[in-house]
């Protein structure tokens, strides 16, 4: 299942995002969307988790969590 994570701090790294989701199950991929010019985070990213059950738990548990002072929004991606 593809998961969209929004409202991330610009300083959040892919490894931090990965470790956040790995506590809830297997992570297939983790990608932060970067600005092409500056190579800085645009404040959102995607995580793919192969097991739907683990993904649903991660979404419900992490949605609204404070990460680096930002309340992240987590939902099923398109």
User: In the structure encoding, which two tokens stand for residue 67, read together?
Assistant: 């990460």
- Residues 61 and 49 sit within 8 Å (Cβ to Cβ): no
Sketch out the chain's domains with CATH numbers: 2-73 (3.30.70.330)
Run means of pLDDT, 10 residues per run, the chain, 78 residues:
97 94 96 92 96 97 96 94
Task: Return all residues near 63 (Cβ < 8 A) that are at least 6 apart.
Answer: 72, 73, 74, 75
pTM of the model: 0.93
């Amino acid at each position: 299942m593809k998961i969209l994570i929004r409202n991330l701090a610009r300083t959040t790294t892919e490894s931090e995002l990965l470790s956040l989701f790995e506590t809830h199950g297997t992570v297939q991929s983790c990608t932060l969307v970067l600005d092409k010019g500056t190579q800085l985070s645009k404040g959102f990213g995607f995580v793919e988790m192969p097991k739907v059950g683990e993904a649903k738990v991660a979404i419900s548990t992490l949605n609204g969590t404070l990460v680096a002072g930002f309340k992240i929004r987590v939902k099923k991606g398109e």
